[in-house]
A and B are shown apart, each in its own frame.
Chain A
Amino acid sequence: MELFDATNAAAEAATYDAAQPRKGFFTDTTLCIGCKACEVACKEWNQLPSDGYDFTAQSYDNTGELNGTTWRHVAFVEQLGAGRSEAAAAPHRDAVIGSVAGRWLMESDVCKHCTHAACLDVCPTGALIRTEFGTVVVQQDVCNGCGYCVPACPFGVIDKREDTDGHAGKCTLCYDRLKDGETPACAKACPTQSIQYGDLDELRTRADARLEQVRANGQFHDASLYLRGEDDGIGGAGAFFLLLDRPEVYGLPPDPVDTTRDLPKMWRAAARTALAIVGVTAVAALVTRR
């Protein structure tokens, strides 16, 4: 457990000389209209290439996923007829899409900037760092593209960039803009304030109030805050969400874990096995006739 606590990089960031209050995103999906302005603003500011013109034929989402060159992704969930989750049903919010009862859910997904960040923990070069804003950033000139962070991320966010030299890429929370006291490009471009940027403490307070509000209105009984707390498997996130259905409906893991939490147990299991290799070999050497 000590290993895990010692790697709480968010706590380390607070020891920086230039330490700032931890910054983050609160993405309120009740306000998202699926316009994808955040995706475009992100690509523009961070000079990320297009992903081509893929047609998913699944919904109005043709982006599909976060990857090395897509750092904001607007999920578009179409719940029509039998396809919808009854657990999240709120009848008076039903829209009529064509002649079918149902609803659309939109959510702008992004790197969660975890308190216990698996990508940062497993990075062998130290290319992934915690900034003075408590965010997680890839140093592009240090990363050697080993790819370890890719399967390590419990959210499937970070990926190798095939457009450049193959280093890892993900949301930086617009580190360069933050340094100048600016708002990240996506939050700046969002026309409905679905993406809200600010001090994490303040965002959490705001999110709690917003949750109470939407529940009190009787609109979204099943609304919940996702990654709002600090008692989950990643020790809380810098980017958290107000969702209207289960996380997995949006492609998010219901109980994400930074597996480095279990690393001491893993090394103990490996150490026992390493000793067994010596033991088995020694026994074979002793009992086998020459």
Chain B
Amino acid sequence: MHLLRNKDSRWIIIWITAIIIAGLWDLANLNRPALIKVVAGFRNTLIIALLVVAFTLLFGWLLTLLFNYLGMRSNRTCYYIATFFLNLIRSIPQIVGILFAYVGVTLLIQNDIVTSRIVLFLIMSFCMSLFIVPEVADLMRERIEHFKRLDFYSAMRVCGIPERRIINFDILWKNSRLHILNKLIAVLGYAVFLQCSVDFIISVGLSTDVNETSLPATLGGLLATIDSKQDILAVGYTLTHPDYIGHLFFEHLQGMTVAFLIVFSLFCIYNIANGYAERHRL
């Protein structure tokens, strides 16, 4: 009951419960090959999204330290160059950037440079995190700037406390980890959304030259398969033929489950992030 009192915990429980219920329903009603595909798609989507979160945190932190170091130097040329490249990444719409990065990924696959599935997951996550990392880096830099404007930073520096300890321990860990975690929850949402969108686009139209089995199955890719598309069309059909609604939960389960997992997961992540921010008054 204590967990249910907080909006974020409540939505985590709702998310997990809904996924379990959908899984049990599919186990009972969805044919085995489709079930395996859905489970693999969800698993792969989640693994890649979590890897994106981890890479984004790591790169965001490294970028923050780099900018802090360059910003302190009297010669600011390197700082301006780094800022230019970060702004360049920022200026590219995330979805377009990731699509182009995937072109590189498919080339690596086609040329048999990458054959391991784990390496492929890492590369896909890396590419995606490149275009999300400014969000986390900006947050960390803003937090550092905020504390530098206060006496907080100067008071510690004049005591001889090293810069790295103030930045990493006092500012980022002690005073910003809640903000950073909240941002990472949002990044998980971005990652799921971007991955599903890009995989859907690739699977629908851009991958005619690429064997679709060469990329790991994800929810976005599954949604683009002909079975799922028919299932989604069936939802539209139900709008004009309400009697058909019962069929959706037995005969169109693959598309329905995939669509549900994408939309409901995003909705839950959104509520978790909001609830977390409200609970900690961020």
Q: Is the pairing of A and B real?
A: no
Interface residues of B (CB under 8 A from A): none
Interface residues of A (CB under 8 A from B): none
